[in-house]
């Protein structure tokens, strides 16, 4: 595991306990499977992730632990947490690889700086939104309880920003800075479908949070009764400089 991974987790504003848990899980996986950086370079990291998958159907069938990890307690819940950690580390490695490639091949004229800055600002805002909402999830819906162990849950189509539950359903929460379009609808529906497949027998609903929604997003959401659109606002407070 790379030494700067801890700083990457801290930069993304994960809680201190979540950072510690992510580092611990990556280390445990490496003890069982070998260096994850080597797997990333060799294209075998996806095989490690696949070996950590264990569905509710597997649990009902009482299938044995398919991984190389020794698990004490619930196999499905534990493997889900290790899978999440490996997928998150994969994201870190991918970003580091992309950044290195950009520095090697791009000159100032190839990447419009203003566009690049906008992407960074949007990502930073979404990261701040997630960190803030995790501390006050009941402001979004008083019935919600976060159940993803403090970090995004990995599913087939990506990483869910926040996974919650209420009295009846699992709830997928996706955050978008600025105006959400129909692609955001497709994204959260994909996450909901993945959760439905993994958690057979449980109801699933989604909440898409954005500053605003375009016409196509609003129209698409109208025909999905299990999807709710929520708008956020930013309140500025000013104080005198001492």
- Domains defined for the chain, CATH in brackets: 5-111 (no CATH), 117-231 (3.40.1350.10)
- The two tokens of residue 199 are 């958690």
pLDDT reported for residue 240: 81
Spacing of C-alpha 209 from chain mean position:
15
pLDDT reported for residue 115: 45
CB 39 within 8 A of CB 49: no
pLDDT reported for residue 146: 96
Strand-by-strand arrangement of the 169-180 sheet: 145-146, 162-165, 169-180, 203-213, 227-231
- pTM of the full structure: 0.81
- The CA distance from 150 to 153, in Å, is 9
pLDDT averaged over consecutive 10-residue blocks of the chain (242 residues)?
94 92 97 96 95 92 95 93 95 83 53 51 75 92 94 93 96 94 96 93 94 95 96 76 72
- The CA distance from 99 to 2, in Å, is 15
pLDDT reported for residue 97: 80
The SS3 call for residue 185 is: helix
């Amino acid at each position: 595991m790379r030494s700067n991974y801890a700083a990457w987790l801290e930069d993304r504003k994960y809680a201190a306990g979540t950072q510690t848990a992510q580092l611990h899980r990556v280390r445990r996986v490496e003890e069982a499977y070998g260096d994850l950086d080597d797997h990333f370079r060799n294209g075998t990291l996806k095989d490690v992730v696949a070996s950590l998958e264990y569905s509710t159907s597997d649990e009902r069938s009482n299938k044995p632990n398919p991984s190389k990890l020794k698990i004490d307690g619930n196999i499905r819940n534990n493997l889900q947490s290790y899978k999440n950690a490996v997928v998150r580390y994969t994201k870190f490695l991918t970003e580091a690889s992309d950044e290195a490639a950009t520095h090697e091949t791009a000159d100032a004229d190839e990447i419009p700086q203003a566009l690049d800055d906008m992407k960074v600002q949007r990502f930073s805002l979404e990261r701040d939104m997630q960190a803030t909402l995790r501390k006050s999830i009941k402001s979004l819906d008083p019935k919600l309880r976060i159940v993803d162990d403090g970090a995004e849950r990995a599913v087939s189509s990506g990483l869910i920003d926040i996974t919650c539950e209420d009295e009846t359903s699992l709830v997928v929460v996706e955050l978008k800075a600025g105006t959400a379009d129909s692609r955001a609808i497709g994204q959260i529906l994909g996450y909901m479908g993945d959760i439905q497949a993994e958690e057979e027998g449980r109801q699933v609903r989604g909440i898409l949070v954005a500053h605003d929604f375009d016409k196509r997003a609003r129209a698409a959401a109208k025909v999905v009764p299990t999807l709710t659109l929520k708008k956020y606002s930013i309140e500025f407070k000013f104080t005198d400089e001492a």
